[in-house]
């Protein structure tokens, strides 16, 4: 019996020594951050860390498989301020009003950070050399007017924002007074604007996907920007639009795919810009040029299955070498260009620019008749919305991915041969 008690006491002692959490483990997250030396790496164990935290020195914060940060406060959960060389990796932030706020920072990176049930995801102010990659944000339920933005950036420069995925926020990316920013391979769904540029210079938005937002890209008072290879689908609500460009200059809209939007591309007060090599497919209105667009060119685009291809309220912009599926001309010299000009002028399209409510009469018998009359009278139009060199063929080559699996074919053949053999044998008998 004595021996049994001794063993029991000894085992208890061992448990106290080894199984009880060390002092470091019961430190709060803020204490752990404070205890990490500059340039150090803090690896957070699995668990839920509640509260508000602040980073003001160069450290790397790494989460484990189930590291979660939570906050009930009406402010930001994590602040990164007045510092540089900070990295955040593999962390889940939930139930916060604002997930992360960065102010006056440089060389900061966020990798694989997930935010869920947040009013606003990340806000960046007065920072430079920032990389955000693999950020996932799921906003709160409700109308977008009651939510904050996914990632909002103000007065900053040199940022690379890629492979992020946002849903249910106000604007996926709100970019205000930013210089030199790249947004690539991001997805924004069910929000107000996918990307909202304001007073930005030298931006690149490529290979992003926008689906079922009010507007895919809203670009305002912005200059020297490329928007390329984006996939813009189903912005088809009452005020829906693929892209809206307002008071912008030197913008290149190239190789984008617009499908099933109310208006695919609307430009207002746009100057010295290019719309080229895009595919406009099954949109209510493909391109809208309004309010004194100047020195813009719309070229080499494919217009397929749209109700109205191009409309304008009187524009200086030129259109050339586009493919229009409703072009009825012929190509005698076989150079791929139609012999007579294509005139995109539609009386009804022009009226819709002035009174958007007219869109509800599209394809009504009266409008169909009007369009037919336009087709006849347009033969005399020489100035507005005239493409002198319409393309006879779409530049878009349809590709069907072959998904035949060899083993399925082999098995099928074996079964077929066996079936034939069985049948012949039955017949022979």
Partner 1 sequence: MKIKWLVCFFVVVLLLQACGNKDYKPRDLVSETDVCKVCNMSIVHEEYAGQIALSNGDYEMFDDLGCLIEYMKNLNKKDIGKTFIKDEGRENWINVETASFVYDKDIWTPMSYGVIAFESKDVAQQYIVNEGKGKLLSYADLDTFEWGVHH
What span, in angstroms and rounded, lies between the C-alpha atoms of 302 and 324? Answer: 6
Nearer to partner 1, 74 or 143 (CB): 143
**Of 159, 171, 167, which Cα lies nearest the Cα of 187?**
167
Q: Least Å distance between CB 106 and partner 1?
A: 20
Nearer to partner 1, 168 or 322 (CB): 168
Q: Least Å distance between CB 265 and partner 1?
A: 13
DSSP 347: H
Q: Least Å distance between CB 409 and partner 1?
A: 53
Q: Least Å distance between CB 170 and partner 1?
A: 6
Q: Least Å distance between CB 177 and partner 1?
A: 6
Q: Least Å distance between CB 145 and partner 1?
A: 4
Binding interface with partner 1 (CB under 8 A): 143-145, 155, 170, 176-177, 192, 198-199, 214, 218, 220-221, 238-239, 241, 244, 246, 266, 268
DSSP strand E in 51-200: where? 53-55, 60-62, 67-70, 76-94, 98-118, 120-125, 128-133, 136-139, 151-154, 157-162, 165-167, 171-176, 179-184, 187-189, 193-198
Q: At what angle do helices 365-377 and 347-354 cross, to 10 degrees?
A: 120
Assess contact for 75 and 95: CB atoms under 8 A. no
Residues present in the chain in total: 429
Sole residue written with tokens 């960046």:
124
Nearer to partner 1, 170 or 186 (CB): 170
Nearer to partner 1, 220 or 370 (CB): 220
Nearer to partner 1, 101 or 300 (CB): 101
Phi first, then psi, for residue 113 (nearest 5°) are -100, 135
What torsion, rounded to 10 degrees, do the Cα atoms 300, 305, 308, 314 define?
0
What is the 3-class SS of 196-264, one letter each residue?
A: EEECCEEEEEECCEEECCCEEEEEECCEEEEEECCEEECCCCCCCEEEEEECCEEEEEECCEEECCCEE
Strands 342-343 and 386-387: antiparallel
Nearer to partner 1, 80 or 218 (CB): 218
Q: Least Å distance between CB 158 and partner 1?
A: 18
Q: Least Å distance between CB 130 and partner 1?
A: 19
Nearer to partner 1, 238 or 404 (CB): 238
Nearer to partner 1, 34 or 75 (CB): 75
Q: Least Å distance between CB 214 and partner 1?
A: 6
Nearer to partner 1, 89 or 171 (CB): 171
Three-state SS at 265: strand
What span, in angstroms and rounded, lies between the C-alpha atoms of 341 and 380? Answer: 10
What span, in angstroms and rounded, lies between the C-alpha atoms of 267 and 289? Answer: 5
């Amino acid at each position: 019996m004595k021996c049994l008690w001794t063993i029991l006491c000894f085992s208890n002692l061992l448990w106290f020594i080894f199984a009880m959490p060390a002092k470091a483990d019961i430190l709060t997250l803020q204490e752990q951050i404070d205890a990490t030396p500059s340039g150090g790496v803090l690896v957070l164990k699995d668990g839920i860390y509640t509260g508000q935290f602040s980073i003001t020195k160069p450290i790397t914060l790494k989460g484990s498989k189930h590291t979660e940060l939570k906050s009930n406060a009406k402010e930001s959960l994590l602040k990164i301020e007045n510092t540089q060389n900070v990295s955040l990796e593999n962390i889940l932030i939930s139930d916060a009003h604002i997930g992360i706020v960065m102010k006056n920072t440089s060389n900061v990176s966020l990798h694989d950070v997930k935010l869920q049930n947040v009013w606003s995801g990340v806000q960046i102010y007065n920072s430079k050399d920032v990389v955000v990659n693999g950020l996932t944000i799921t906003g709160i339920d409700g109308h977008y007017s009651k939510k904050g933005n996914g990632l909002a950036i103000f007065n900053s420069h040199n940022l690379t924002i890629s492979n992020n995925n946002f849903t249910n926020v106000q604007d996926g990316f709100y970019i205000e007074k930013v210089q030199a920013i790249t947004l690539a391979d991001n997805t924004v769904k069910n929000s107000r604007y996918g990307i909202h540029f304001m007073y930005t210079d030298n931006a690149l938005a490529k290979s992003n996907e926008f689906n079922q937002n009010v507007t895919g890209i809203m670009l305002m008072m912005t200059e020297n920007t490329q928007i390329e290879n984006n996939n813009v689908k189903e912005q088809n609500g009452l005020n829906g639009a693929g892209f809206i460009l307002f008071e912008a200059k030197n913008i290149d809209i190239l190789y984008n795919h617009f499908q099933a939007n109310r208006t695919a591309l609307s430009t207002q007060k746009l100057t010295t810009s290019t719309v080229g090599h895009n595919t406009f497919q099954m949109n209510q209105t493909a391109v809208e040029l309004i309010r004194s667009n100047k020195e813009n060119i719309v070229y080499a685009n494919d217009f397929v299955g749209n109700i109205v291809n191009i409309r304008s309220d009187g524009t200086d912009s030129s259109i050339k070498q586009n493919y229009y599926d409703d072009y009825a001309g012929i190509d005698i010299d076989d150079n791929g260009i139609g012999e007579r000009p294509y005139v995109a002028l539609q009386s009804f399209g022009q009226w819709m620019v002035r009174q958007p409510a007219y869109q509800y009469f599209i394809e009504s018998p009266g409008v169909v008749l009007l369009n037919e009359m336009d087709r006849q009278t347009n033969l005399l139009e020489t100035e507005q919305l005239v493409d002198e060199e319409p393309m006879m063929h779409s530049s878009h080559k349809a590709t069907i991915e072959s998904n035949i699996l060899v083993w399925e074919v082999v098995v099928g053949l074996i079964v077929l041969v066996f079936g034939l053999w069985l049948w012949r044998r039955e017949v022979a008998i």
